[in-house]
């Protein structure tokens, strides 16, 4: 059994939604994730003591790699493949840019700003970053669910059409055989 894939019309100018997330995932992984991954061992080697002032550098590296690379790549591939497999256009397409802006801003703030804040502001800033990531995830859900629900409604309508067609065929065949 194969999954039929429908061609999706391309926007006239600019990046497609999935390209924005895939390029960002690669940039965050190579740029920011690699920078932090190299910075931590160098800090230990040359005794810069960056981790003594801010012990959550390893957490920041993990968050940038997991959310920045893995999540953004999955979102990009979802935005690319879901409309094709669902045989429909993306719904709430206007939420793609706010979703991307919230996600990138939160990760950049977490990696470049929050780790250098004093302890009393650090917790508040981490909470604000997590709220921005939650808002970004909510935008993603607001894009995915309506698209999938429309696809399901179309599939159910197609199934009902097939059922009507096939239930009428035996009657016609039996009538031809009997008259025959």
- Using DSSP, how many helices (H) and how many strands (E) does the chain show? 7, 0
Tokens of 105: 């801003």
pLDDT at residue 14 in the model: 76
pLDDT at residue 163 in the model: 67
User: What is the model's pTM?
Assistant: 0.75
d(CA 47, CA 55): 14
Average pLDDT, whole number, for the chain?
83
Nearby residues of 125 by Cβ (< 8 Å), 6 or more positions away = 109, 113, 114, 117
Residue 121 has pLDDT above 70, yes or no: yes
Is the pLDDT higher at 1 or at 24?
Answer: 24
For 61, counting Cβ atoms within 10 Å of its Cβ (0-12 exposed, 13-18 middle, 19+ buried), the class is: buried
Task: Scan for tokens 């003591």, then name that residue.
Answer: 49
Mapping DSSP onto H, E and C, the string for 65-107 reads HHHHHHHHHHHHHHHHHHHHHHCCCCCCHHHHHHHHHHHHHHH
d(CA 68, CA 34): 12
Q: What percent of the chain has pLDDT over 70?
A: 76
pLDDT at residue 143 in the model: 95
Q: Domain segments of the chain: what residues?
A: 17-179
pLDDT at residue 37 in the model: 85
pLDDT tens digits, 20-71: 999 999 999 999 888 888 888 888 888 887 776 667 788 888 889 999 999 9
For 103, counting Cβ atoms within 10 Å of its Cβ (0-12 exposed, 13-18 middle, 19+ buried), the class is: buried
pLDDT band for position 2 (50/70/90)? low
- According to DSSP, residue 166 is labeled H
């Amino acid at each position: 059994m194969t999954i039929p894939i429908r061609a999706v019309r391309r926007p006239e100018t600019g990046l497609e939604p999935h390209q924005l997330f895939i390029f960002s995932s690669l940039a965050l992984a190579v740029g920011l994730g690699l920078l932090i991954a190299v910075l931590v061992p160098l800090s230990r080697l040359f005794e810069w003591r960056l981790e003594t002032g801010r012990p959550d550098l390893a957490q920041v590296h993990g968050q940038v790699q997991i959310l920045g690379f893995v999540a953004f790549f999955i979102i990009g591939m979802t935005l690319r493949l879901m409309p094709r497999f669902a045989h429909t256009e993306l719904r709430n397409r206007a939420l793609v840019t706010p979703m991307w802006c919230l996600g990138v801003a939160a990760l950049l703030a977490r990696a470049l700003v929050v780790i250098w804040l004093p302890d009393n502001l650090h917790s508040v800033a981490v909470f604000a970053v997590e709220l921005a990531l939650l808002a970004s995830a909510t935008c993603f859900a607001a894009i995915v669910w309506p698209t999938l629900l429309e696809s399901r409604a179309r599939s159910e309508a197609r199934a009902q059409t097939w059922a009507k067609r096939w239930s009428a065929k035996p009657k016609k065949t039996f009538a031809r055989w009997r008259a025959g």
